[in-house]
Amino acid sequence: MTKQTAPTPSEQWDDIEELDDSPDSDEEQGMFEHYGLTVDRGQSLLRIDKYLTAHIEGASRHRIQLAIDAGYVRVNGTVIKANYKVKPLDEIKIFLPYRRRGFEILPEKMDLDIRYEDEDVLVVNKPAGLVVHPGCGHFTGTLLNGLAWYLGRSQGPDAPDDRMGILVHRIDKDTSGTLLIAKNDDAQAYLARQFFVHSIERKYTAIVWGDMEQDSGTITGDIGRDPNDRLRFKVVEDGTGKHAVTHWRVIERLGYITVVECSLETGRTHQIRVHMNHIGHPLFNDSRYGGDRILKGTLYSKYRQFIDNCFEILPRQALHAGTIGFIHPRTHEKVTVSSGLPADMTALIEKFRNFVSSRQA
């Protein structure tokens, strides 16, 4: 592991990623609750941690103190220290690592593919099809239920806020790969800060339609919700989107598809899927962005049958979160964790290799 310094509080407060509460969303993003408060005219001088604990329902003083230490609290536009005392009419803005409440999280025994673990951090290789946390239509069988069992925890609707604050980010239900988890509040605040300033290393492997013209490139395009379909996102140019940057390089060319590695500079909802679709190379079998039909190749029935077989081999978008790198919350050393391609993506690549070889023979 390489020694690195921890990120400093960001001055770009507008760069917090937008949240989407649907379970099949959020490619990868830090999850924050945002609060804005104005201190009453008659308020006496009071330490800000005590003030916020009294005014934010369900937030412990320890959690507030962690947010202050991480630089998540601003008063009148300025990052403050823990000993700051609020004054009448102070304008306070605070971001807290997200806590999902109001329902019961029951432990469920689940086989977890753990790639890294210590007293503070856990990295799991999530299989495709597994929802990360409970939500509308998914109240059991989620990764969070499995983590509750593994960590020996449970949470009811009225549980204190220090019970299940372990998710630092999310990936799509049908995206496989590495997921970073904090095992305590201190680790969660420290890791969330790295997502906040975009210092987390994130590399994905994607299989896209078409032969990329270049060997590498960068896609820069603001991402916003598609006004014609609230479940989709698109690159927008009207100033309503969130800044997003994806770097990519070709790993292997396989005729009508290309295997690429994508590195995220930002972490917007569906970022890789949106950016690749924007440049004319949707992810293979990505039904939401049009990749679940033949976009490149011939019209012959034999080829159509071949692609149908490929869709059966990989019945989801061809995207895998292969590597995540972060500064450890206790040691302050760089930790990088990787997971190899899952069997369905490997089988698809091998099938296309054989297809290309047969055409060249």
Round to whole Å and give the CA distance between 277 and 40. Answer: 49
Round to whole Å and give the CA distance between 123 and 338. Answer: 9
* Phi, psi angles (nearest 5°) of residue 7: -65, 145
Buried b or exposed e, range 224-255, using 16+ CB within 10 angstroms: bbeeeeeebbbbbeeeebbebbbebebeeebe
Whose tokens are 């299940």? That residue is 164
Q: Is 333 helix (H, G, I), strand (E, B) or coil?
A: strand
Task: Report the 10 Å Cβ neighbour count for 187.
Answer: 24
Cross-strand pairs, 94? 35, 73
**Sequence-separated (6 or more) residues with CB below 8 Å from residue 282:** 208, 209, 273, 276, 289, 290, 291, 295
CA dihedral sign, ordered 133, 235, 195, 316: positive
**Catalytic residue of the set 20, 90, 161, 172:** 172
Judge contact between 246 and 260, C-beta under 8 A: no
Q: Is 172 a catalytic residue?
A: yes
Round to whole Å and give the CA distance between 349 and 42. Answer: 67
Can you read off the two tokens belonging to residue 316?
């989801």
Which residues does the annotation mark as catalytic?
172
